[in-house]
Each structure stands twice: as structure tokens, then as C-alpha cells.
Structure 1
Amino acid sequence: MCFSLAKYFLFAFNFIFWLAGAGMLGVGIWLNVDPNVANTVDVAGLEFYYAGAIVMIVAGCIMLVVGFFGCCGAIKESTCLLGTYFGFLFVILGLEVGIGIWALVTYDDLESLIGDSMNALDFNTSPDNPLVAMEQNLECCGGNKGCIDWSATGASSYGCACDPNNVKNASYCVMASSVPGCLADTNTDTNPGLANNYIYVQPCSEATYNFIEDNFQIIGIVALVIGCTQIIGLIISMCLCCSIKNKKKSGYPA
């Protein structure tokens, strides 16, 4: 009875694990192709973010294969498939721990990395300046100093125009005249011509950091849940494999 429960539990577990792999693959692809993410990462010079997305895609593909081995091994009561499954799962868990350590080390330097990238931004009023798209996507303005970064170059708060009635955080959208040293946005594409001339005041360095931090928290929670389930899978697969061997040695049908 316990053997049968363990077998079907492992099958159900690996089916869920297989679905989690499909989900991770989908998230990794999304992080690679979403234009908002791509623009933010490119402008901020955070190429390591792409590396994390690629890791998620690879991990998702491996999880699909491993989940298949686990399901087949449990149903067919194959020690060979279960052993292969255990080996794959152990290696993946080790890689995830290594990636987690790397992410934590990188995360400690994230704020300074973003700050350095923002200092290197090109504050020009060209219509195709990718900074403008990032300002509108993240509801921010300038680099480390906000709209002051634009006025320091003799330009207006280019691309920083906002509608206080259509923003995620109204406190970041204020009248340009209320910010010392800043001017209204003269970009006709982003400035709807409103008389109030509102602009974003949140620096893009802060917005980018929050954007990355929010995504890291989601990925971290998902990784923690998957890691815990993997440990359970390792334990169950090892117990089931040993039970199958003992049954075969004793001559009882599995």
C-alpha cells in the first residue's frame, strides 16, 4: 500500500514538476522577447539580466526532460529511469544553488552597477533615443538625478511628460515648474500638449532598480518553491528505487 502511494505520489509530483518546467521556460522566453524588458536592460547596460533569462530557458527545458523521466520511472517501476531521474535532479539542484549564490553576489552590486550605467547615458533629444522609451515604460526621468540630468545638458525634460490621471504612481508625476532647475518636456511624441506640463520626477536609476528587484523577488520565490520540491523528489525517488530493488530481490511482484 505504501509502495503504491509513493509510486503515484512521485508520478503526480513529477507531472507538477514538468508543468513548472514549462512555466519557467515560458517566463525565460518572455524575459528575452518582451520589448519593455529589453529596452530597460539595453539602456541600463544590465546584460546579466539576459544571462538569467537564458538560464531559466535552459533550466525549463531540462525540467521538462527530467519530469518525463520521473513520470515514466514511477509508473514503469524502472530503477534505471528513477536512477537517471535522481541524477538529473541532483545536478539541477546543485546548479540552482550555484546560480542563487551568483545572483546574490550580483544583487549586492546591482545598485552601483545601475548608477554607473546611468552616468554613461547619452542625454540627447533624438526621437530614437532609447532612453525616452524607458522613461515612459518605467515612468521615470533622466538618470541618477532625475530631470536635473536633462537640464544639466541644456535640454528640456525630454521624454518625461506624464498625465497625472493616467500613471501608476501619481506622486511621481508633478508639474515641471514645481521642480527647481527642471523644464517641461518639449518632445511632441510624449507631451500631449497639456497646459499643466507634468513630468516624472522619479530618477530612472531608482525605477530600474525597483523593476529588477521586483522581478528578482518573483524569480527567487519560484526558485525556492521548486528547490524544496526537488529535495522531496530526491528523497521519494531514492526510497522508491530501493523499494523496487528489495521487491525484486524478495521475488514479490512490484
Structure 2
Amino acid sequence: MGCFGFLKTVMFIFNGIIFLAGAVILAVGIWVKVDSGSMMGFLQNLNGAPEQLKQVLNVGYLLIALGAVLLLLGFLGCCGAVRESRCMLLTFFVIVLIVFIAEVAGAIVLVVFKGLIQNVINQVGVKVVESIRLEYGNNKDSTGLWNATMNTMKCCGFNNYTDFTGSPFVQNNKLYPDQCCNGGLCKDSNATAANIIGCYPALTKWIDGNSAVIIGVAFAIAILELAAMIVSMTLYCQIGRKHA
């Protein structure tokens, strides 16, 4: 097998995996959205299943979008290599390049405009707290989403437990959510809620603690994207010379 054949094989196998992964993710996303009634029944019949599991239905659209993109990339890569289609290979290259540029631009924005981004996050945080105080304990979807977030991250509110002050939940129950309580009842005057960190500080702390892993994963993804672009362009050029 020559270099050309080896590159075709690598391109086919790599993108075949991407295609299959995209097909599975797309199928799961469609099933979650189309068969939501059965999904809800399944979740409700699980012994000991937390109420927050119902929020899985909200990720259906995200799964559909992600699956469709991966499916398209895998198809273009596989067919472009097997059929020696320069058009498909070029389209594959352009899509990966756009994703790569967007990632680089995002990283630059995070570094250069870190202060501005922090201000935006603070402004968003104000709106989030307003939403909590209006909807938590009253809006089922919002309450379930926050409960799932707090249970997963072991946190309380966006900033801290005071975000729930004045919310329908606190007004009706005269206590703060269980996630803020260290296992006890957090009444308005109970100081134990102050020991639970907010979800935004918890996320920031987690990112700081895992920054090396995050950078490593991002670097690995960037290398794979560069390799995919190099292989696709190499095949593109060799196919052009072959049919010249």
C-alpha cells in the first residue's frame, strides 16, 4: 500500500468512526424528542429515579444538532476519500477549518477580553438571580433544572443561598432548598446555608483546579483537527495530480 492508499484508509476509518458516532447521537436526540411520552414514562417508572432526570428531554435538540454535524463531517470524509472526490474533501476541509478558527478566536477572546467577559457574566448573573427569585418553586422546568445543577455540582444558587431569598419556594416553605442545607433544614435564620458554595464559584473553582486537563484536551482536539485538515488537503492535491 502506497502513501496515497494509506491516507485514504486513514481518512476512511477516522471519518467512519465520526459518521457512526454522529448517527448514534442523532438517533438518540430524535428518539428523545419524538418519543418524549415513552421517555417520560420510562423515567417515572425507574425505582428511586430523581425528578431531575426528566431534564434529559431538554438536551434533545443539542444532540440532534451535534449528531447532524458529525454525520455530515463523517460522510464527507469517508465518501471524499473512497470516491476520490475533491469537492467533498474540500468541503470537509472548509468545515473543519471554520471550527478550528472559531475555537482559536474563542480562546483569544477569553484571554484578551477576560475583564469584559467577567463583567458580562456578572450582568448575566444578576438576570439569573432575578429568574431564580421569580420562578424557583413556581416554574417546574426552571426548578428541576436548578435542582439537577445543584445536585450535580454540590452547590447552592448562582452566587450563594441568598439568591433564593424571596423566591416562591422560600415564601411557601419558609426554608431554603435542601441542596443549601448540609442535610439540615435551612430556615431563614439558619446560617448553615452559608457553608455551601454557589454554582458559579463552584464552576470557576473546578475550572481552575482542572485547567491543565482542559488545556490538554483542547490541545489534543486542535491536533486532531489539524491532522484531519492536512490529510484531506494532501488527498485533495494528490487526486488532482492523479487525474490531471
Shorter-chain TM-score above 0.5: yes
Tell me which residue corresponds to 1:248.
Answer: 243
1:174 and 1:200 in contact (8 A); partners too:
no
Decide which of 196, 207, 213 is 1:202's aligned counterpart.
196
Distance 1:224 1:16, change over 3 A: farther
Decide which of 52, 56, 63 is 2:70's aligned counterpart.
63
5+ residue gaps, structure 1: 43-49, 163-170, 184-197, 250-254
Describe how 1:38-187 pairs up with structure 2 within 5 A: 57-98=64-105, 108=118, 109-110=120-121, 113-119=124-130, 121-122=132-133, 133=144, 136-137=147-148, 138-139=150-151, 144-146=159-161, 150=165, 156-158=174-176, 160-161=177-178, 173-176=182-185, 181-182=189-190
Distance 1:91 1:142, change over 3 A: closer
Relative to its length, the structure with more helix (as a share) is 2
2:4 and 2:238 in contact (8 A); partners too:
yes
* Secondary structure in structure 2 of the residue aligned to 1:83: helix
Q: By how many angstroms is 1:237 displaced?
A: 1.1
1:90 and 1:234 in contact (8 A); partners too:
yes
Q: What fraction of aligned residue pairs are identical, expressed as a percent? A: 24
2:157 and 2:199 in contact (8 A); partners too:
no
5+ residue gaps, structure 2: 41-50
Distance 1:101 1:235, change over 3 A: same
Q: How many residues align?
A: 211
TM-score normalised by L of structure 1: 0.55
Decide which of 220, 224, 227 is 1:229's aligned counterpart.
224
Q: By how many angstroms is 1:176 displaced?
A: 3.9
